[in-house]
Amino acid sequence: MKTRGNASRASGRLPILSTLIVVAGAVAVTLALGSCRPHRVPKDELVVLIESPPRSPDPRYALSAYDFKLGRLLYAPLVSVDDLTVEPKMELAKSVRALDATHWEVVLRDARFSDGSQVTTSDVRYTIDSMRDPATGSRMRQRFLDDGLQKIEETGPGRLLFTLSHPHAPFITDLDFGILKRPPPGSKPDRSVLPIGAGPFVFQSRAHDNWTLRANPYFFGGAPPTRTLVLKTIRDDSSRLLALVGGSADLTQNTISLLLLDAVAAQPRLKVMTAHSSVYTYLGLNCEDPILKDRRVREAIADAIDRASIVKDKLHGHAVLATGMLPTFHWAYSADVEKHPFDPALAKRLLDEAGYPDPDGDGPKKRFTIIYKTSNDRLRVAIAEVIADMLGKVGIGVELRVNEFATFFADVKKGNFQLFGMQIPEIAEPDLYDNFFDSRKIPTRQNLDAGGNRMRYANPALDQLLDEGRLEMDREKRKRIYGEVQRVLAHDLPVISLWHEDNVAAMRKNVQGFELLPTAQLTSLARTYKR
Task: Tell me: pLDDT of 192 over 80.
Answer: yes
Q: Taking a C-beta distance cutoff of 8 angstroms, is the pair 320, 499 a contact?
A: yes
Burial of 420-457, coded b for 16+ CB within 10 Å and e otherwise, reads bbbebebbbbbbbbbebbbeebbbeeeeeeebbbbbbb
pLDDT band (50, 70, 90) for residue 445: confident
Mean pLDDT of the chain, nearest integer: 90
Query: How far is the C-alpha of 102 from the C-alpha of 269, rounded, in Å?
Result: 55
Query: How far is the C-alpha of 450 from the C-alpha of 300, rounded, in Å?
Result: 30
Indicate the DSSP class of residue 306: -
Task: Tell me: pLDDT of 23 over 70.
Answer: no
Distances in Å between the Cα of 341 and the Cα atoms of 307, 322, 367, 379, 500 are 8, 11, 22, 23, 16
Distances in Å between the Cα of 419 and the Cα atoms of 284, 371, 438, 455 are 6, 6, 19, 9
> Which stretches of 1-92 are assigned E, i.e. beta strand?
2-4, 45-50, 79-80, 89-90
Distances in Å between the Cα of 82 and the Cα atoms of 49, 91, 97, 299, 429 are 20, 10, 19, 35, 13
235 C-beta neighbours (distance < 10 Å), count: 12
Strand, helix or coil at 312?
helix
Under the phi-then-psi rule, with left for phi > 0, alpha for psi from -120 to 50, and beta for the rest, what region is 349? Answer: alpha
Q: Which residues contact 33 (CB under 8 A, 6 or more apart)?
A: none
Task: Say which amino acid occupies 514.
Answer: F
Q: What is the pLDDT of residue 83?
A: 87
Rg (CA), the chain: 25
Pick from 38, 490, 444, 68: nearest CA to 242:
38
Query: How far is the C-alpha of 496 from the C-alpha of 299, rounded, in Å?
Result: 8
Task: Tell me: pLDDT of 16 over 80.
Answer: no
Q: Where are the alpha helices (DSSP H) in 472-519?
A: 475-492
Cα angle: 10, vertex 16, 17; to 5 degrees:
30
How large a percentage of the chain has pLDDT more than 70? 92
What are the tens digits of pLDDT across the range 101-133? 999 999 999 999 999 999 999 999 999 999 999
Longest Cα–Cα distance of the chain, Å, equals: 77
What are the tens digits of pLDDT across the range 237-289? 889 999 999 999 999 999 988 878 888 888 999 999 999 999 999 999 999 99
Q: Taking a C-beta distance cutoff of 8 angstroms, is the pair 256, 237 a contact?
A: yes
Q: Taking a C-beta distance cutoff of 8 angstroms, is the pair 272, 4 a contact?
A: yes
pLDDT band (50, 70, 90) for residue 2: low
Q: What is the pLDDT of residue 321?
A: 97
What are the tens digits of pLDDT across the range 135-165? 999 989 888 888 899 999 999 999 999 999 9
What are the tens digits of pLDDT across the range 321-356? 999 999 999 999 999 999 999 999 999 999 999 999
User: What predicted TM-score, i.e. pTM, was given to this entire model?
Assistant: 0.84
What are the tens digits of pLDDT across the range 452-470? 899 999 999 999 999 999 9
CA 88 to chain centre: 17
Pick from 212, 246, 203: nearest CA to 44:
212
